[in-house]
Chain A
Amino acid sequence: MSIEVRGLTKHYNGFKAVHNVSAKLETGSLTALLGPSGSGKSTLLRMIAGLEVPDSGEIHLTGREATYASAKERNVGFVFQHYALFKHMTVFENIAFGLRVRKQKEDEVRNRVFELLDLIQLTGYEKRYPSQLSGGQRQRVAVARALAPRPEVLLLDEPFGALDAKVREELREWILRLHEETNMTTLFVTHDQQEAMEVASRILIMNHGEIEQDGTPIEIFDEPATHFIAQFVGETNYIDTEISEKGLAVWGPFRFSVNPGLPVNQKIRIYFRPNDVYVTAQFETLQVRAKIAKTRFRGTVIEYKLDIGEDKTISAQVPKGVALASGFKEGQEVYAAITAFHVFPIQP
């Protein structure tokens, strides 16, 4: 079942929560809706679920118009950030809720609930109350409850936001496996880009109520479409300079060949990732001289703050093995080149 939104807009007292958003999610896809807080991602998700009414635009589920359809007609599963489990009901009754309100037969309800308990690996917990479960278990019950009425779409609002790092990691894996098994069209909201990259095959990035980029994790990471994406996704250096002659920009000792279409004197911002800075102890080619001003251990990589003269510094990341083999240390003279970068004109 596919999800399609067209020109969806929702304003609150003049604040553009979601503005003219269009997107189409194919049947069986697993998509992340990524953005900083206040970017409108939750509002968009809630409109698809029918928890908010859009000001204008359309929502289509499996090709059917469902903009103002009731939650029952939409047949979507929704998982809340803080679980929203019914705290006065047992795990069994929580999962059974969506079946009971549809007046299903008792033995069908039992079968379905036990099937789901097995799926979430909580068989034997059916008589417990939500308060007797850990955060991760509660969230799994919340997922089972959403899946019980066999929805055609699964929507998750910051599903791992309230959990600690380790549990979050496990649940991510679990959601991935669940998606592989059920192949249900899934859309989840997150502010964590790592999570979006690891789980989703496609990412929609929202900012100020609009979708700024729609692509695979690799596209989002390597080909940022806007200033915002360039600095929001992954770590990056940015420098401000201007076009000095056709197709060329200079910043300190570095020279960047840029799109020749940009006019001379155009102010630009150049983004490049710390791991796209190539650092060697010996001069190889096209490198500039730099000095290691500071070293920071970051686990799998080591980060260096490079002093390139004229009071200018950039940060570079080198895989730990390479860094150890090269024997870099603070104060050492090295050579650096920027191997990949993105240029965005600065609008005056």
Chain B
Amino acid sequence: MTQETLIVSVKGDRKTDPARALTETRWVRWILITVALLFIALFLLVPLAEVFTSALNKGFSYYFGAIREPDALSAVKLTLIAAFFSVWFNSAFGIVSAWAITKFSFPGKNLLITLIDLPFTVSPVVSGLVYVLLFGLQGLLGPWLQAHNLHIIFALPGIVLATIFVTFPFISRELIPLMQEQGSEEEEAAMVLGANGWQIFWRVTLPNIQWGLLYGVILCNARAMGEFGAVSVVSGHIRGLTNTLPLHVEILYNDYDFTAAFAVASLLTFLAVLTLIAKTLVGLKYEKERQVLPPRFESELP
């Protein structure tokens, strides 16, 4: 009896693909797909379209005017500076920490792994406040900084620091599992071949992690440019001076200049779309790299 049923179902519509025997019936699949697509349309596509229609509703000249306005340009510049520093700092820190965590064992290693995640778990507003409490006038280091005429809060260094903090985990979290998976055999091979530490890093380690690193850099950059909370706390919102793009959007919005706000927001949206494309391309390349890793155990020991 059971055998007969089995034969019938094999002869049915599932005969071509054995994996299909595990999927749901047709109407369940359609409902799930429709629901998913509806959600995407409602929560992603509609707002995206809204950004561009609002940005352009007073015409192209107004749009470009809003973007070319000096305060907007200064916000773009500041955003690029903050992103530039956080990408470089976090690349360096990411490589160093991933190297330390995967190649050595030392006391406090697990604590370090946990701490790297801290910026993901703490609200950005809180991390901004921490910097204010540290470097602000009433803060721990405030008087000393004041005495030496150093400005961190409500100035560029504070914005850069806050951006670095919130984008801290992206690169190291990308590199740690990658380097763990790769192990250190290639580095050992380079070492016995007579390479020094510098040569090992540039010729062996870096080429092996380049796509993972680039992937992390893209994510880090996107977050750095879009960061609002932490930067908002430390920036002081001085127009043309300490406003990044997201802060500039907020100010324009609060001034009831909706069209300009959306025009500037569309820049961030373009950035997001570019990031998505870059992320997908690098991700594909990265996956390919990982797949051509030589099979670790081709045929197991006899």
Chain A positions within 8 Å of B, measured between CB atoms, are 49-51, 71-72, 76-78, 80, 82-89, 97-98, 101-102, 129-131, 135, 138, 145-146, 148-149, 161-165, 191-192
**Shortest Cβ gap from A160 to chain B (Å):** 10
B residues less than 8 Å from A130 (CB atoms):
294
B194 touches A84 (CB 8 A): no
**Shortest Cβ gap from A78 to chain B (Å):** 4
B residues less than 8 Å from A85 (CB atoms):
186, 189, 294
B residues less than 8 Å from A97 (CB atoms):
190, 193, 195, 203
Chain B positions within 8 Å of A, measured between CB atoms, are 185-186, 188-196, 199, 203-204, 207-208, 292-294, 296-299, 301-302
Partner of B189, one of A76, A86, A161, A162: A86
Partner of A101, one of B194, B297, B302: B194
User: How far is it, in angstroms, between the C-alpha of A159 and the C-alpha of B195 when the chains are bound?
Assistant: 22
B192 touches A71 (CB 8 A): yes
User: How far is it, in angstroms, between the C-alpha of A259 and the C-alpha of B189 when the chains are bound?
Assistant: 51
User: How far is it, in angstroms, between the C-alpha of A86 and the C-alpha of B195 when the chains are bound?
Assistant: 13
B residues less than 8 Å from A129 (CB atoms):
292
B189 touches A78 (CB 8 A): yes
Q: A51-B191, A145-B193 provided; 15 other pairs, C-beta below 8 A? A: A49-B192, A71-B192, A71-B194, A82-B185, A85-B294, A86-B207, A89-B207, A101-B199, A102-B194, A129-B292, A131-B292, A131-B294, A135-B298, A138-B294, A163-B298
B299 touches A84 (CB 8 A): no
A residues less than 8 Å from B185 (CB atoms):
80, 82, 84
Known: A84-B186, A97-B190, A97-B195. A162 touches B298 (CB 8 A): yes
**Shortest Cβ gap from B37 to chain A (Å):** 38
**Shortest Cβ gap from A138 to chain B (Å):** 7
**Shortest Cβ gap from A330 to chain B (Å):** 30
User: How far is it, in angstroms, between the C-alpha of A72 and the C-alpha of B297 when the chains are bound?
Assistant: 30
Known: A88-B207, A101-B195. A164 touches B188 (CB 8 A): no
User: How far is it, in angstroms, between the C-alpha of A87 and the C-alpha of B205 when the chains are bound?
Assistant: 11
Candidate in B185, B194, B203, B296 with the most chain A CB atoms within 10 angstroms = B194
User: How far is it, in angstroms, between the C-alpha of A88 and the C-alpha of B207 when the chains are bound?
Assistant: 7
Cβ-closest chain B residue relative to A164: B299
B294 touches A83 (CB 8 A): yes
B188 touches A82 (CB 8 A): no
B residues less than 8 Å from A135 (CB atoms):
298-299
User: How far is it, in angstroms, between the C-alpha of A267 and the C-alpha of B190 when the chains are bound?
Assistant: 53
B297 touches A162 (CB 8 A): yes
5 example contacts (A-B, Cβ-Cβ < 8 A) are as follows: A82-B296, A84-B185, A84-B188, A135-B298, A163-B299
**Shortest Cβ gap from A292 to chain B (Å):** 30
User: How far is it, in angstroms, between the C-alpha of A133 and the C-alpha of B199 when the chains are bound?
Assistant: 26
